[in-house]
Chain A
Amino acid sequence: MSALPRVTEADVDRLAEQVGLRIDPTDRPDVAAALAVLLGAAQLVMEFPLPEDVHPAPVFRP
């Protein structure tokens, strides 16, 4: 994978607040590191152009 995005502890706090999470200060560095890995993966996925007619894999059967 290419270079990971930079994620600060302040970023973690800001994002956590949006989903109602309170992250203990002692966990913040490790959460930031884990989030950097996930955001790096997200970037790799999002930058791949897909035709509009490609639909999500799960199929809902009513």
Chain B
Amino acid sequence: MADGAAMTAEAIAADVRSRRRSARDVAAAALERIAQRDRGLNCFTLVRRDDALSEAAKLDARIAAGADPGPLAGVPFAAKNLFDVAGVTTVAGAKIEAEGAPATRDATAVAALRRAGAILVGVTNMDEYAYGFSTENTHHGPTRNPHDPTRIAGGSSGGSAAAVAAGLVPLSLGTDTNGSIRVPAALCGIFGLKPTFGRVSRAGVFPLASSFDHVGPFARSVADLALAFDAIQGPDPTDQVCAERQAEPCVVELQRGVAGVRIAVAGGHFSALASAESLDAVARVAAALDVTTRVTLPEAHRARAAAMIITAVEAADLHLSDLRMRAKDFDPMTRPRLLATALVPAAAYAHAQRFRAWYRARVAEIFSHVDVLLAPTTPYPAPPIGAPSTTTVDGVLVSTRSHLGVFTQPLSFIGLPVISVPVVTPGALPLGVQLVAAPFRESALFRVAAKLEADGVAAAPVVSRPPD
């Protein structure tokens, strides 16, 4: 169907549930879009063509028999290739992991979406072992930004974000340790949710740094983001850090408006070393919400540094054995950085974990009088693929790729829930603005995101540009 690429998950599920369209036809259309466009974008590392069609046909049969197919009936989705999918090898962007046997069961989040009726059409490209912000994967090739195929999609969940932005699928799953959902969401111009740490199970997900690893969805509408989040949130005893707190559905929050929600702009660290466009995106969102209050998160720059140390040391713990035995099999884009992680002094890790406790308490004080903070997602729009390693921002030389996480890392560091909303200027590359709340207050984020979408301030129109 001509309009298939732009359909929301909500609309697809309504059609499939009411039998206006079959799940098989929806899956076939998504697979056709992938066949047409993904050679140019390189979002997918594996497409489950036969399995997806077969599973969709089974769903149609269940609907015909009168069964409830779930709130995401027939919705095609993709998952970053570090989620276990039964029958698929969990490659995690790495040549080393490609040698492994296929997973025998789905990751909890993948299983949850499938239980809700969604159809997994494939798994997506990423930075090797999720240790990067660009998805310039040497083994699989770079994922290209649908808004400009000469530019990166962001990372590490770049394939999942670009697939949604291009309209190949309406929903996808990613992971975010330091910004790996929010950065590609912003650079590809879509919505991305990094839930509260522990809100969504990581069982069956290849880890990067357990202290910060989060699972979350991408979508082109706030309602779709909420549908996906509601399907995957909640306790899971098979993930040791998953919270025991019961799920708190957010779809019901979307019509509540923002009356009574106290909103402020994050200043200080979050207003420096960024392009004028990134700061202007925050200003536009703040103006639309009539926000004039500014607050400062103390020592946010140090929080980012501590996040870097904890991530490095936990990544070293996971990969040291392979780095000793077969370093040459790592992606050259990640190998030097992963080798360096093994050389960090131990006391810095312990101090960073103590600093984390201190910083969490200071930020909690701010959330006693503010409900939602606004901050830029990235300091600039998508850099070109293969860009030089350094760039100048505000007159300061920074690392082109790692600086992409300058505003996301101080927030995931203490597990705060964040939605990155897309702010698009006609003729310009997209940017994102982070909506940030206190732990387990995703409901406030969804209320603000829905308001911004309703007012046309945040939007994620499907990118229909053909591949060059």
The residues of A with any CB-CB pair to B shorter than 8 Å are 1, 12, 15-16, 19-24, 27, 30-31, 33-35, 37-42, 44-46, 48, 50-51, 54-58
Does B350 lie at the interface of the complex (its beta carbon under 8 Å from any beta carbon of A)? yes
State whether A12 and B354 are in contact (beta carbons under 8 Å apart), knowing that A24-B327, A38-B308, A48-B299 are contacts in the complex: no
Residues of B within 8 A of A48 (CB): 299, 302, 351, 355
Interchain residue pairs with CB less than 8 A apart (18): A19-B320, A19-B343, A21-B343, A24-B327, A31-B336, A33-B336, A35-B344, A37-B340, A38-B343, A39-B345, A41-B305, A44-B301, A44-B305, A45-B309, A48-B299, A48-B351, A50-B351, A51-B358
B306 contacts which of A35, A45, A51 (Cβ < 8 Å)? A45
User: With A15-B343, A24-B327, A39-B344 in contact, do A50 and B309 touch (Cβ < 8 Å)?
Assistant: no
Please tell me if B39 contacts chain A, counting CB pairs below 8 Å.
no
- B323-347 CB contacts (< 8 Å) to partner A: 323-324, 327-328, 335-337, 339-345, 347
Rank and list the top 9 A-B pairs by shortest CB-CB distance, nearest first: A30-B336, A42-B348, A56-B353, A34-B340, A41-B305, A57-B356, A35-B340, A44-B305, A15-B343
| Distance of A57 Cα from B352 Cα, bound (Å) | 9
**B36 contacts chain A at the CB level, 8 A cutoff:** no
Whether the Cβ atoms of B324 and A20 lie closer than 8 Å is yes
- Main secondary structure, interface of B, reads helix
**Which chain B residues numbered 69 to 85 have a C-beta less than 8 Å away from chain A?**
none
The listed residue with most A CB atoms (<10 A of its CB), out of B342, B344, B356, is B342
Nearest CB on A from B351, distance (A): 5
- For B337, B342, B343, B351, the residue with the greatest tally of chain A CB atoms inside 10 Å of its CB is B343
Please indicate the chain A residues that have their CB under 8 angstroms from the CB of B320 in the complex: 19, 21
The residues of A that contact B355 with a CB separation of less than 8 Å are: 45, 48, 50, 54
Q: How far is the CB of A2 from chain B (nearest CB, A)?
A: 10
For window 122-171 of chain B, which residues contact chain A by CB distance below 8 Å? none
Checking A1, A30, A34, A54 against B357 with a beta-carbon cut-off of 8 angstroms, the contacting residue is A54
Report how far A38 CA is from B309 CA in the complex, Å. 7
User: Are A34 and B336 interface neighbours, CB within 8 A?
Assistant: yes
A22 CA to B323 CA in the complex, in Å?
9
Alpha-carbon distance between A37 and B357 when the two chains are bound, in angstroms: 23
Cβ < 8 Å to A, chain B residues 210-225: 211
Q: Which residues of B contact A56 (CB under 8 A)?
A: 350, 353-354, 356-357
In the assembled complex, the Cα of A58 lies from the Cα of B351 at a distance in Å of: 12
If A34-B337, A37-B402 touch, whether A46 touches B301 (CB-CB below 8 Å) is no
How many angstroms between the C-alpha atoms of A26 and B279 in the bound complex? 40
Task: Tell me the complex Cα distance, A33–B389, Å.
Answer: 11
Is B49 engaged at the interface, CB distance under 8 Å to the other chain?
no
B399 within 8 A of A: yes
Complex: chain A residue closest to B312, CB-CB: A38
Q: Shortest distance in angstroms between B413's beta carbon and chain A's nearest beta carbon?
A: 9
- With A27-B327, A34-B339, A48-B299 given, name 20 new contacts (CB 8 A): A1-B301, A22-B324, A30-B336, A31-B340, A31-B343, A38-B308, A38-B312, A40-B305, A41-B308, A44-B301, A45-B302, A45-B305, A45-B309, A50-B355, A54-B354, A55-B354, A55-B357, A56-B357, A57-B354, A57-B357
Q: B residues near A, CB below 8 A?
A: 211, 299, 301-302, 304-306, 308-309, 312, 320, 323-324, 327-328, 335-337, 339-345, 347-348, 350-358, 360, 399, 402
Contact among B211, B324, B341, B357 with A38 in the assembled complex (CB-CB below 8 Å):
B341
Contact A12 B324 (CB under 8 A): no
- How far apart sit A46 and B352, CA to CA, in the bound complex (Å)? 8
Q: Which residue of A lies closest to B308 (CB)?
A: A41
Closest to A35 in B: B340
Chain A residues within 8 Å of B302, by CB: 44-45, 48
Asked if B357 and A45 sit within 8 Å, CB to CB, the answer is no
- Shortest CB distance B311–A (Å): 10
Find the residue from A15, A24, A38 having the highest chain B CB count within 10 A: A38
Residues of B within 8 A of A21 (CB): 320, 323-324, 327, 339, 342-343
From A19, A33, A42, give the contact of B342 (CB < 8 A). A19
Question: Which residues of chain A come closer than 8 Å to B309, judged between CB atoms?
Answer: 38, 41-42, 45
A27 nearest in chain B by CB position: B336
Cα distance, A46 to B354, chains bound together (Å): 10
CB neighbours (8 Å) of A50 from chain B are 351, 354-355, 358
Please report the C-alpha to C-alpha distance between residue A41 and residue B130 in the assembled complex, in whole angstroms.
20
Contacts of B399 in A (CB 8 A): 37
CB distance from A40 to the nearest CB of B (A): 8
Q: Are B353 and A57 in contact (CB under 8 A)?
A: yes
Nearest CB of chain A from residue B453's CB, rounded to whole Å: 34
A41-B178 Cα distance, complex, nearest whole Å:
15
**Most A Cβ at <10 Å: residue of B335, B339, B350:** B339
> Which A residue sits closest to B307, measured CB to CB?
A41
Contact between A46 and B347 (Cβ–Cβ < 8 Å)? yes
